[in-house]
Structure 1
Amino acid sequence: MPISKLSRRKFVALTTSTALANMLASSSLALTDASAKQLIDAAVSDINRVISSGKALNAMIKDFERILVKYGDVSIIARSALGPDARSLSNSQLRSYTKAFQGYISRKYGKRFNEFVGGKVEVVGARPVKSFYEVTTKVTLKGQAPFQVNFLVSDKSGKDKFFDMIIEGISLRLSEKAEIGAMLDRRKGDINLLIQDLKKAG
């Protein structure tokens, strides 16, 4: 009996996530809780500055993209979201896809800044998990109970960067893997059409 497309995608997502975890686990643990916390402290400081800036939404989204590029490992997040299909891309396609994915993520999550106005984000602590660190932050918004956003930090790229955000228990990296997979399925696996879609999505 043939494996369904959904089953194949679930299998691919599982094996890709396992491979990424093993890849991170195989690197030396040069990070410390202090350096991981310092990275997210700086990112949170920049985020809070944007929240309180009073800028228009489009300007806030541009600021969020700069924060994402400065503190996030966009390349790993983008490749993880695409999964094994990333290995078949040419260098130029991979660059175009990563750039389009960066803009897509910035728009999608940057729009949430409107919800953050009048609130604040603060770092609570950090703990080692295998070869990376999980830095916990508390988000307090007006009229809502505080909630957690956790950043997973690694130095695999040669710099301390976060490679995932866990928002109220939901992984950005894994949820975007499902989104990108669905978008690619709709385009029958055509990566160039996916890139064009990502430039407008979010």
Structure 2
Amino acid sequence: MLIRRRGVMTFLATAILLVSSVGLTVQARADDVSDARGLIQTTASKLLGVINSSQSDAQKQVQMQQLVRGAVDVDGVARFVLGRYWRVATPAQQQDYMQTFRQLLVYAVTGQASTFQGAKFNVGEAAQRDAGIVVDTDVLVPGKPEAQVQWVVATVGGEPKIIDIIAEGTSLRLTERNDYAGVISQHGGQIEALLDAMHHQLARFRSGS
């Protein structure tokens, strides 16, 4: 349920997240394509730098948080995942959801980081697609099969941001959105049920269980 631990795909999805904000422009110039590829190269380099460092978990958590906020439109991410339920949530529920979502993201990333030491990203071609600018990468983790991952980038607030990850042909933003909607629908459309589940998961992360 929610942000799950799924090996390399989970780490990638939670590290640079899953989703996009609504209403992004997908038309791209040559410079936009170059910027998108540069974003992936820079983000991957910084990510691996943090993972492979000898810093404490607390220090890594702070750096991961900064990295995610710089590479992703986090608020747009959260709203997309909640989907149509965002419009029916109360202001208090929206605030609770956004705060909890941000915290879950950071804990999910740092909780997986130590198992990906020595990983490498090989950045391939970048091209405009319907969903945005897609950047191909090969992800190499010692002792694990090579993974082909595509990163979808769009311009948000004048800057390139990662808006989706496609792993094994599956859009992770849509997968996560369906998961969240499933939790709510199983509880009679009550958003509070999703918030309770997120709070429970956050408590588990904090306790290390």
TM normalised by structure 2 equals 0.72
**1:80 corresponds to:** 80
Change over 3 Å in CA distance of 1:180–1:71 after alignment to 2 = same
Mapped contact 1:104–1:200 kept (Cα < 8 A) = no
2:123 is paired with a residue of what secondary structure?
strand
**In 2, distance between residues paired with 1:94 and 1:139?**
35
CA deviation after TM superposition for structure 1 residue 63, in Å = 3.3
Q: Which residue of 2 aligns with 1:3?
A: none
The separation in 1 between residues aligned to 2:179 and 2:59, in whole angstroms, is 25
Aligned to 1:9: none
Kindly indicate whether structure 1 or structure 2 has the higher relative contact order, using CA contacts under 8 Å at least 6 residues apart: 2
Partners of 1:188 and 1:109 in 2: how far apart? 31
Please give the root-mean-square deviation of Cα atoms over the aligned residues, in Å.
2.8
Conserved in 2, the CA contact under 8 Å of 1:151 and 1:162? Answer: yes
Matched, 1:23 2:26: no
Structure 2 unmatched ranges of 5 or more: 1-19, 203-209
Instruction: Tell me how far apart the structure 1 counterparts of residues 56 and 188 of structure 2 sit (CA, whole Å).
Output: 37
Per-residue CA deviations over 1:123-181 (Å, capped at 9, x if unaligned) read 22211113620112221111223212221111144431111122333322112112212
Q: Give CA-to-partner distance per residue, 1:93-129, whole Å, 9 cap, x none.
A: 3233122122223333443323311222232221111
Task: Kindly provide the amino acid, as one letter, of the partner of residue 120 in structure 1.
Answer: K
Given that 1:44 and 1:123 are in contact with CA atoms closer than 8 Å, whether structure 2 keeps it comes out as no
Q: What residue number does 1:16 align with? A: none
Change in CA separation of 1:85 and 1:44 when aligned onto 2, cut-off 3 Å: same
How many residues are treated as equivalent by the alignment? 182
Identity in percent:
24
Gaps of 5+ in 1: 1-19
In structure 2, distance between residues paired with 1:22 and 1:100: 20
Give the TM-score normalised by the residue count of structure 1: 0.74
Aligned to 1:17: none
- The residue type paired with residue 112 of structure 1 is Q
Residue 51 of structure 1: how far off its partner (Å): 1.7
In structure 1, C-alpha distance between the alignment counterparts of 2:184 and 2:52, rounded to whole Å: 37
